[in-house]
Amino acid sequence: MAQGALDASVAYVKERKQFRRRIGEFQGIQFMLADMVMQIEASRALIYECARAGDEGDWDRLNVLASMAKCFASDMAMRVTTDAVQVFGGYGYTKDYPVERMMRDAKLAQIFEGTNQIQRLVIARHLLA
């Protein structure tokens, strides 16, 4: 979802013009895109670390990393898709563009398969064990 929202946003800002300039030329938009890609890459790194723990059979570490990865990635997806909707402006809320659906799906990711609050509980209990 987050990568799709970023890809759609990058394509959009290269085409959409405001004040006779592509909106991708505006510093505020560039900052938003930079934050989006950094969050996506950080999430990927955590997911890969989770996979590594599984490959190595480190089940205790895998358990807590899986909770971290699910929580972090779904929260990140919500932030990124919300930013994507903002990049699209009013069009971001219409079904004509994909970011509207991505934002709704990102919200579902935060509550499906164990809410992020439950994942935080798993993480905290691991710390306190």
Please identify every residue annotated as catalytic: 113
Please count the residues of the chain.
129
Cα–Cα dist 58/56, whole Å? 6
Note whether 32 and 58 are within 8 A (CB).
Answer: no
d(CA 64, CA 113): 15
